[in-house]
Structures are given as structure tokens and as C-alpha cells.
């Protein structure tokens, strides 16, 4: 599969700028004369969508005019001349809250052009696809991080995945494509990827308020724990990728040199180190135990958090933390019942 990641500015809809939806950058393209061209990237016209990305300034064939910048198509397909078809184009944008670039949407079966294509003046595009092959995530669904650093996406707006010597790239591509399929499946079934409070039929308002408060507390704890753990491993030199735990069974993957860790993240608001794993999470903890790290962050809502990283020691058949604490596991039985 031919995959390329294009980084653009952040918008909610990409249907054109207005007072409520402006292209937002993170200091990457803000001074460019082409800033804002991506505002129509998900606007349907004649059954198609046309997407803009600003190629890097050092791209070959750069001319004097800004629209003379070109995309090096040979890095997508060595046989390409003026365009290349059937490309999965992933759109990312900087997200300050996520501390990096996140996937905002994608085009499947897209055509990527070498040169700027003139559309509605003064705007144009480098990518074209059928509107039915375009998928835009809602703003609160955008959490899948594009890893940055050596061997990953750099500071340029175009990342040709297959043109780097990176041992973690195949795994990341599997994660990305699985994530895309999961998003499409959930959207098809009317399920949002964002976390939303439970809805009950005509509940008492006090009950609703309590449940909403509990939801927001749990969401804040989970978000804080994830952020703390990502920072900790990145500070140790790992390239950290956020995953979708529904289909992998862990929240993060960390790669450094030839080591790849699967990291399950659990947060608690208080000081007690006690968490629950779903049957799927527990199965993966056992199956991947040599490369699995269970990280428990306590005191998530306080000013200082305590991070304990539990790893498996095969010589003594147990899980110990980096502080020397022993992880005690209490297994629970469950059952699935059905009739035919």
C-alpha cells in the first residue's frame, strides 16, 4: 500500500474559513504565502474533494513562484511521472493538547500530483479523490499521534513513509491502517470515537450530574496519566506512538534502537495503586509479557504524580516495578452466555 502523510493547519471542518473555523498553525507554516490553502480540503465539489499541502521548500523543481513547488512522486512510486494513483493520503495537523501532530482525516485511493493544480482562484490542490473516499474526524476524535524524530516524520509537511530506515515503521503502518478501519467501522455504525457521557432514558437531573462529574473526572485522570507516561518515555529517548487500545490492548508503543515496548497505561486519582484490566488487556499483558510494561500513575489530579513501571521478570515469574514493588494479580472469572 502506498501511504503518505501530509501535515496541514488545524480546522474543524475544512469547508472554508469563517469566523468560527479558522486555519490554526503551530508556528510551522504561519508565514507562508500559501497558508490557508487547505481550508477547502474536505469540501465536496462534483463528487470529489481536492486537498492542498505545502511541499517543503527544498523540494526539487522549486520555481520562483510559490505554486511552483513540487512533490517528489518517486518517493511514493518510482514509476510516477506527473501523478500517482491509488494512494492513501493521511492528513495530520498540530495539536497543542496532544503535544504533537494528530491524524485529522484521510483520502483513500487518491491521486497525488507532482505540481500544483489550479482550482478555484486563488486556491489549488496537490491531491484529488472521490468524496466517498474522504474521511474527516471530528475535532474531539483526533488523538492518533504521528511520531516525530529520527526515522519518523520530521518538521516538513510531507512524510514519505517508505523512504526511511526505521525498524518500527511496519508496526506503525499496521497500527495506522487498523486505526483507519476501526474509525470507518464505528462511523458506519453511528458510534463516535470521542468519549461521551452515558445517556439514560429520562433520568433524574441529580443522577445525570453525578454521572457527568464522574465521567469528566475519569477522563481527566486517563488523559493526565497518558500525558505523563508519554513524556517519561520520550525523555528516556523512546519514540512514542499512541495506539487505539480497543484493537491492540495497550495504549502506547515505545521504540528505541531495536527495542519495542507495549505500554498499558492506568491512572488513579488517589494514592492507592490498584487498577483493573479488561479480559482483553489482561490477555495481552500475559501474551506480550516480555515486551509489555504496565504503567500505573497515581495522584493524577494532584500537582505531582507518582509513576510506577511494572515489568515481567521471567527468572522469578513475577512483575516488579522500577521501585521494587511487587505487582499482585487477582484473577476474576467471567462468562458469556448465549442461546441459539
What confidence category does residue 169 fall into, taking pLDDT thresholds of 50, 70 and 90?
Answer: confident
Q: What is the tens place of the pLDDT at every residue in 25-69?
A: 764 444 456 667 899 999 999 999 999 998 886 444 333 345 678
Residue 154 is predicted with a pLDDT of: 76
Fold for the domain defined by 201-327:
Trna Endonuclease; Chain: A, domain 1 (3.40.1350)
Q: CA 72, CA 158: separation in Å to the nearest integer?
A: 10
Q: What's the angle, vertex CA 129, arms to CA 124 and CA 134, rounded to 5?
A: 110
| pLDDT of 158 higher than 60 | yes
Evaluate the omega torsion of the peptide bond into residue 161 and state whether it is cis, within 30 degrees of 0.
Answer: no
Residue-by-residue DSSP string for 278-333: -HHHHHHHHHTTTTEEEEEEE-TTSSS-EEEEEEEETTTTEEEETTSPEEP-----
| pLDDT of 316 higher than 70 | yes
- Residue given cell 491521486 in the structure block: 111
Average pLDDT over residues 243-262: 79
| More confident call, 111 vs 337 | 111
Q: Specify the pairing of strand 100-118 against strand 134-136.
A: antiparallel
Average pLDDT over residues 83-90: 96
CB 76 within 8 A of CB 112: yes
Q: Could you state, in order of their start, the residue ranges of all structural domains in the chain?
A: 2-187, 201-327
| pLDDT of 220 higher than 80 | no
Residue 192 is predicted with a pLDDT of: 66
Average pLDDT over residues 275-293: 87
Q: Per the confidence metrics, is the pTM higher than 0.75?
A: no
The values of phi and psi at residue 200, to 5°, are: -115, 160
Residue-by-residue DSSP string for 52-72: -----TT-TT--SSGGG----
Residue 14 is predicted with a pLDDT of: 94
| pLDDT of 136 higher than 90 | yes
Amino acid at each position: 500500500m502506498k501511504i503518505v502523510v501530509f501535515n496541514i493547519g488545524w480546522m474543524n471542518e475544512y469547508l472554508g474559513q469563517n469566523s468560527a473555523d479558522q486555519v490554526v498553525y503551530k508556528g510551522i507554516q504561519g508565514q507562508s504565502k500559501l497558508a490557508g490553502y487547505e481550508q477547502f480540503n474536505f469540501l465536496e465539489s462534483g463528487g470529489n474533494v481536492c486537498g492542498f499541502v505545502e511541499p517543503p521548500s527544498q523540494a526539487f523543481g522549486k520555481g520562483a513562484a510559490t505554486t511552483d513547488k513540487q512533490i517528489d512522486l518517486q518517493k511514493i512510486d518510482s514509476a510516477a511521472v506527473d501523478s500517482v494513483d491509488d494512494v492513501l493520503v493521511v492528513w495530520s495537523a498540530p495539536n497543542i493538547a496532544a503535544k504533537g501532530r494528530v491524524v485529522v482525516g484521510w483520502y483513500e485511493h487518491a491521486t497525488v500530483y507532482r505540481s500544483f493544480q489550479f482550482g478555484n482562484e486563488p486556491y489549488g490542490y496537490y491531491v484529488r479523490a472521490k468524496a466517498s473516499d474522504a474521511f474527516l474526524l471530528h475535532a474531539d476524535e483526533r488523538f492518533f499521534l504521528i511520531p516525530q524524530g529520527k526515522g519518523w516524520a520530521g518538521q516538513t509537511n510531507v512524510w514519505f513513509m517508505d523512504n526511511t530506515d526505521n525498524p518500527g515503521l511496519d508496526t506503525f503502518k499496521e497500527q495506522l491502517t487498523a486505526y483507519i478501519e476501526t474509525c470507518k467501522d464505528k462511523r458506519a455504525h453511528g458510534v463516535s470515537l470521542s468519549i461521551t457521557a452515558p445517556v439514560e432514558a429520562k433520568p433524574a437531573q441529580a443522577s445525570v450530574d453525578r454521572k457527568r462529574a464522574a465521567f469528566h473526572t475519569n477522563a481527566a485522570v486517563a488523559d493526565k496519566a497518558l500525558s505523563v507516561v508519554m513524556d517519561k518515555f520520550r525523555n528516556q529517548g523512546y519514540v512514542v506512538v499512541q495506539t487505539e487500545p480497543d484493537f491492540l490492548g495497550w495504549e502506547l508503543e515505545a521504540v528505541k534502537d531495536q527495542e519495542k515496548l507495549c505500554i498499558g497505561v492506568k491512572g488513579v486519582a488517589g494514592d492507592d495503586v490498584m487498577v483493573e484490566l479488561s479480559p482483553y488487556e489482561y490477555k495481552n499483558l500475559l501474551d506480550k509479557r516480555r515486551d509489555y510494561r504496565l504503567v500505573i500513575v497515581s495522584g493524577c489530579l494532584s500537582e505531582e504524580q507518582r509513576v510506577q513501571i511494572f515489568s515481567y521478570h521471567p527468572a522469578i515469574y513475577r512483575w516488579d516495578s522500577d521501585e521494587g514493588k511487587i505487582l499482585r494479580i487477582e484473577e476474576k472469572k467471567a462468562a458469556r452466555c448465549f442461546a441459539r
